[in-house]
Structure 1
Amino acid sequence: MELLNDMVLFVEVCKAMSFRKAAENLDMPSSTLSRRISHLEEAIGLRLLHRTTRKVELTEAGLIYFERCKRIVGEAKLAHEQLGEMLSNPSGTLRISLPVDFGTIFLTSLLVEFAEHYPGINFEIDLTPRLVDLVTQNIDVAIRMGNPPNSNLIAHKLMQFRGNLFASPKYLEQHGIPEHPNDLVHHECLSFPNNTRWKLYRAEEKIEVKIGARFMLNNVGMTRKLSLLGQGIIFTPYEVVHDDLNDGLLKPVLPEWQGDVLPVYALTETRLLPAKVRAFIDFLRKRLPSLIHSF
């Protein structure tokens, strides 16, 4: 980087053919500029400029070096300007990884709204519950629910949910209504295979219940469908089932008890984000909570 910076200084001196004028253009002392050029000549091992009290002239080596440096410096400035445009003007293809259910339920309408705001952005969307390798799979940002993994990824918190218990009238009629979290051990509880202990909170009270069920699966949509068919109690954010509650297809169970906070994060490989990624994360931070709370 120091060599490239010195090339820039050398090109400016050659254009002005004067250390004083070049120093003024660069807004630096002439003595500093002269010293940097001298260091450049020492590093190369050749004199590039003939200096006199009245003028500056290029040596044969200096002329060759100037022609080369002029192109290099020009390309570097162009690259810098193009990256600056990427930073200030969101455009290009945005590659996103989303959980299937969260993406389908909450993000579809927001993606359309975001696309309307930024017509220069195209989208490639990978719907998967697993955490993809952002680098090898060329993913710009992954949206995930739950605490982020211990990794080198950068986590940008977007919002948080809390889980609640729900069941269909059919299920509650056949199996009874739980009156306390401990009663859940006698019920069919629809859950993920790695979530067989439900933590429930009421004010300062906390209870952890080991649940069991005939159906254990890793898809919220199918879990919801099973609960609608009377197959068990579902533990999910209210926002996932608000339509079912309004239609009377599901009813709250132990409504005074809530689950752990479930955060939602945008994960990126670096903090140095192009405009398209930064704009998307900022948009979700602003719009996602208001969308969720409108349910």
Structure 2
Amino acid sequence: MEYLNDMALFVEVVKMRGFRGAAESLGMPNSTLSRRISGLEKAIGLRLLHRTTRKIELTEAGQLYFERCKRIVEEARLAHEQLGEMLARPSGLLRASLPVDFATIYLAPLIAEFAHEYPGISFEFDLTPRQVDLISDPVDVVIRMGEPPDSNLIARKLASLQRGLYASHRYLELFGEPDHPSQLTDHECLRMRGPGADLWTLSSAAGNEQVTVGGRFELNSVGMLRRLASLDLGIALLPAGIAAQDVSNGTLQRVLPQWQASPVSVYALTETRLLPAKTQRFIEFLRDKLECV
């Protein structure tokens, strides 16, 4: 049974990428934690970690042991949690990776509401567009816009966000308002960087139109697209919820309102279907709220 406790300690050390962070998370002395892991290696008869003054690295045996232990520890914790009050009133630290602009503009009010509803949960957010490794990074859930990559991760769809064209009143006064998607070729179009950035497909009751667009700005931030559009620099293709505040205050207006692009999906990605209550409630809450948009 001591092995089970030491497995949990080992998993935390790997997740936190070091003894100091793990010791703080576990509320135990660094020296005690190091001694327990050394004892575990001695009992197994294999070195699990390469230790340096700056970081730790898993050995080949350590990587295999971590992958097995992580699931064992997680399932043991879930067995306790799902039988207790925590399922109804979850607590603990929720680590989530969120897309910067979507989180700042769209998710922040929902997160505030969730935090009020579940006061026992504390939060650690990593706002980044980078690909997160749910096995080695200390993250419980990743929220991403767009179709998820093919992988072994579990993807749960949270929402489909409607997208339309938006521009400032000043830009439209200067350059005119298009009456048909084909006229977008005569405009500055603010584009998200990536495959197909210059080819916009729009649909209406009249059918579908594909138009090749151009302009001086191509970037990887939907928040920056929204900001540049509000500064009279062109027409942007944005999720309606992202543009809603600017439309409400008159900074932006809908262009070609009868036309829209295909919705952009929002997904929650996790390593496993077996989720602790805090993560499960967070995903369910976001799905319920985002389904309304």
**Common fold: TM-score over 0.5:** yes
Aligned to 1:128: 128
**How far did residue 227 of structure 1 move?**
0.8
Aligned to 2:263: 261
Aligned to 1:218: 220
Distance in 2 separating the partners of 1:267 and 1:197? 28
Which protein shows a greater Rg? 1
Deviates more, 1:150-159 or 1:199-208: 199-208
Opposite residue 156 of structure 1, the aligned amino acid is R
Aligned to 1:145: 145
Query: What are the residue-to-residue correspondences of 1:61-210 with 2, within 5 Å?
Result: 83-87=78-82, 88=84, 89=86, 90-194=90-194, 195-203=197-205, 205-210=207-212
Normalised to the residue count of structure 2, the TM-score between the two structures is: 0.68
Deviations 1:28-68 (A, max 9, x none): xxxxxxxxxxxxxxxxxxxxxxxxxxxxxxxxxxxxxxxxx
Q: Secondary structure at the match of 1:119?
A: coil
Aligned to 1:241: 243
Q: Secondary structure at the match of 1:234?
A: strand
Could you say if the C-alpha distance between residues 182 and 116 of structure 1 is closer, same or farther in structure 2, counting changes exceeding 3 Å?
A: same
Deviates more, 1:87-96 or 1:179-188: 87-96
Structure 2 gaps of 5+ residues are 1-73
Number of corresponding residues? 213
Opposite residue 215 of structure 1, the aligned amino acid is F
**How far did residue 272 of structure 1 move?**
1.1
Could you say if the C-alpha distance between residues 187 and 91 of structure 1 is closer, same or farther in structure 2, counting changes exceeding 3 Å?
A: same
Normalised to the residue count of structure 1, the TM-score between the two structures is: 0.68
**How far did residue 83 of structure 1 move?**
3.7
Flag as ranges the 4+ runs of structure 1 deviating above 6 A. Answer: none
Asked whether the 8 Å contact 2:96–2:142 carries over to 1, the reply is yes
Opposite residue 274 of structure 1, the aligned amino acid is P
Opposite residue 143 of structure 1, the aligned amino acid is I
Distance in 2 separating the partners of 1:179 and 1:82? 59
Deviations 1:61-102 (A, max 9, x none): xxxxxxxxxxxxxxxxxx987543323512221110000111
Distance in 2 separating the partners of 1:80 and 1:218? 38
Distance in 1 separating the partners of 2:76 and 2:180? 63
The two structures, once aligned, show a CA RMSD in angstroms of 1.8
Deviations 1:244-294 (A, max 9, x none): 22222222111110100211111111111111111111111112333xx3x
Aligned to 1:278: 280
Distance in 2 separating the partners of 1:240 and 1:161? 9
Structure 1 gaps of 5+ residues are 1-78
